[in-house]
Amino acid sequence: MKARRIGVVMGGTSAEREVSLRTGRAVADALASAGRSVVEIVLDGGVDTVEALRAARVDVAFLALHGRLGEDGCIQGLLEVLGVPYTGSNVLASALCMDKAKSKELFRLHNVPTPPYYVFNAEGCADVEEVHGSFGFPVVVKPRREGSSFGIAKVDNLPALARAIEDAQNYDRSVLVERFVAGKEISVGILDGRVLGAIEIAPKTGMYDYHAKYTAGVTEYFMPARLPPTRYRGVLNLAERAAQALETSGAVRVDLLVTEGQNEYVLEVNTLPGMTPTSLLPKIAAEAGYSFADLCVAIADRASLSVGATAAVEESERATVAAPLPAIALAV
């Protein structure tokens, strides 16, 4: 079935609404520039999501949502019920990737290294010192189910930990406390199961938090990542294994840490990565030969349903969109 009309779904009610709107508008403009019929579907608390999707009469939903109700399997489940093919991973994979604790459980089952952690739940866990025990410092505190680095903090002592947990609980009552690992921050882009490359993220000061992500000039990016060839291939291989462990599909970004020694750790897998021209995945895809518009079209053309029919464009169109991928021998 040819994707005649693409609905770019953006906005939502999560803390990442503004990021989603930027992503959605950039994607809509790129798809329109490629000659696709596009309609913007902006969701918020006052919009009936079912009616908005039905009224748009789209053949495909391009998900530009971020955060809760967008990345966690909820909108994916609704689109399955409505029979509208959508971009990104299916319901289960989306839910697992949004939940940092569940992701880590699966990483460990699949022998994918990830920093040690524990979960602090508001219910029944009043004593931070008792729960933290001998876990040590420094640690990174994160809301269990949130993105764009909202509510994240690095702390070095118990009073700071208690404050950071309280702050993180403004986003999620369940909080992940993760051992801090010093190293290079690396993101790997994957499209339809194929690894595109790895970018290095180097904040000029502090952590790669919300400010560092979305403020011009405060972070440097190196594409490809500044790693020896063997390490580079190992990072790509590890990212691929992490994405496979969570059974993701479509466009995926895997975030990792690479230490000065011989260790790599997976932090998380993002099933709906940011999609402005300056976001990480488009930067990685550009190195692999995709323009921003080509990347958006390629993602839209892979929209599908987990059950039943899939949405795709004609094979001739698909061939013109997909740029050749670099020949990379992945380490096993």
Residues serving a catalytic function are 16, 148, 214, 253, 255, 268, 270, 274
3-state DSSP call for residue 274? coil
Amino acid at position 2, single letter = K
Cβ contact 23:10 at 8 Å: yes
Q: What angle do CA 238, 242, 244 make, to 5 degrees?
A: 115
Amino acid at position 177, single letter = V
Cβ contact 40:10 at 8 Å: yes
* Distance (Å) of CA 206 to CA 33, 209, 211: 38, 8, 10
Cβ contact 88:9 at 8 Å: no
Q: Are strands 139-143 and 153-155 parallel, antiparallel or unpaired?
A: antiparallel
The residues, ordered by sequence, that sit 6+ positions from 133 with a Cβ below 8 Å of its Cβ are none
Give the residue carrying structure tokens 């459980």.
Answer: 105
The residues, ordered by sequence, that sit 6+ positions from 302 with a Cβ below 8 Å of its Cβ are 87, 192, 249, 250, 312
Residues 85 and 313: their CA atoms lie apart, in Å, by 12
Which DSSP state fits 239?
H
Residues 276 and 282: their CA atoms lie apart, in Å, by 7
Amino acid at position 216, single letter = A
Q: Tokens for 27, please give them.
A: 């994607």
Amino acid at position 248, single letter = T
